[in-house]
Amino acid sequence: MSQDKITQIALSHVLLPLPKPISDAKVMTGVQKPMTEVSLLFVEITSQDGHQGMGFGYVLRAGGKAQYAHAQDLAPFLIGEDPNDIPRLWEKMAWQGASVGRCGVAVQAIGAFDTALWDMKAKRAGLSLAKLLGPYRDAVPTYNTSGGYFGTSIEEVCANADRSRANGIRGVKMKVGQPDVAEDIRRVTALRKHLGDEVPIMIDANQQWDRETAMRFGRAVDDLSLTWIEEPVSAHDYEGHAWLNANLDTPIATGEMLSSQESLQQLIDHRSVGFLQPDAPRIGGITPFMSLAGEAAKAGLKLAPHFVMEIHLPLAAAYPGDCWVEHFEWLEPLFEERIEIRDGCMQVPTRPGLGLSISEQTRHWTVASDRYGSA
């Protein structure tokens, strides 16, 4: 049997508008402005044998044009390659961009190609991505984040939490890290009182504390039975997270802002977390994610991938340890399909590949597109 070959690659740069501006602690402290849109890179790959795969990555705030530009540089190098050779093609793309490194925008562009190749591989086999990887479960516990941002009163946060619970979502996360720590504590305490002791609550400081402030806050809320405290200090402060993780009753979660497999490995090596939060599109796609997940499992960590439930759900299903998937409805308009949620869990899709097809509306949000190879 002759080997298959990649014959065409289509790239799209999409700007997805958000229903309303989004603010977290980085906005409250003046580091960033409210977020109004999500920049996405879509990669669609077609092979000589007629197989197709779709992958995507994203950027929040600055960097979307750079991600798309790097994808334009990479695409020609995959034409004529066997799409089955996914790890080798990841390395080939990484070497093409060696002078800009193996983190940040460089690997985030690679991640969209890598995901498309995995999507194609699963479709070729007639399997869902979870079945191709080898699932441990067919449903993954989920928590909602979008209802707990700043700019939302605590009464609205509680109402949003009730709505999420009514829609089958198990846990809720709210933002903390504003300059007034006492107000943060008041809001978290009010949410716990409203939901009762059994509902999982996560809180996220988005890197806005120093170690001492994080410790004081953690001790103040240790008796609230929180599932985790997320990003209490700088994302790159491996030792600070490890110190907090060792000395607080509440587990520490972090990892979403790190943009390479190697940097997340530092969290594992330093015992910095109870919950590791890798983001597949940010670290280069499914290939590095699954390698990292293997290391996390060996270390006995729990897994809670960041954002992009559409990609992370099948990856979490293939994780041997305890895991969560984060519910964000932001990206739903991009796709024709919807993820089913019931009994506190996202149901792992059984459709071939990722089980996603790009919506017609997404074409209207496309600001740039390119094609490489022949039809």
Query: Hey, which residues are catalytic here?
Result: 175, 306
Measured distance CA(120)–CA(117) in Å, rounded: 5
Q: Rounded to a whole number, what is the largest CA-CA distance in the chain?
A: 67
Strands 252-254 and 228-230: parallel
Strand partners, 174: 203
Residues 6+ apart with CB under 8 A from 348: 128, 130, 135, 137, 138, 139, 140, 313, 314, 317
Give CA–CA dist 256/322, Å, rounded. 18
DSSP lists the bridge partners of residue 228 as: 202
Nearest to 354 by CA among 34, 53, 3: 53
The strand ranges marked E within 223-283 are 228-230, 252-254, 275-276
Amino acid, single-letter form, for residue 165: R
Which residues, in sequence order, are bridge partners of residue 370?
Answer: 11
Helix (H) or strand (E) holding 214: helix 211-221
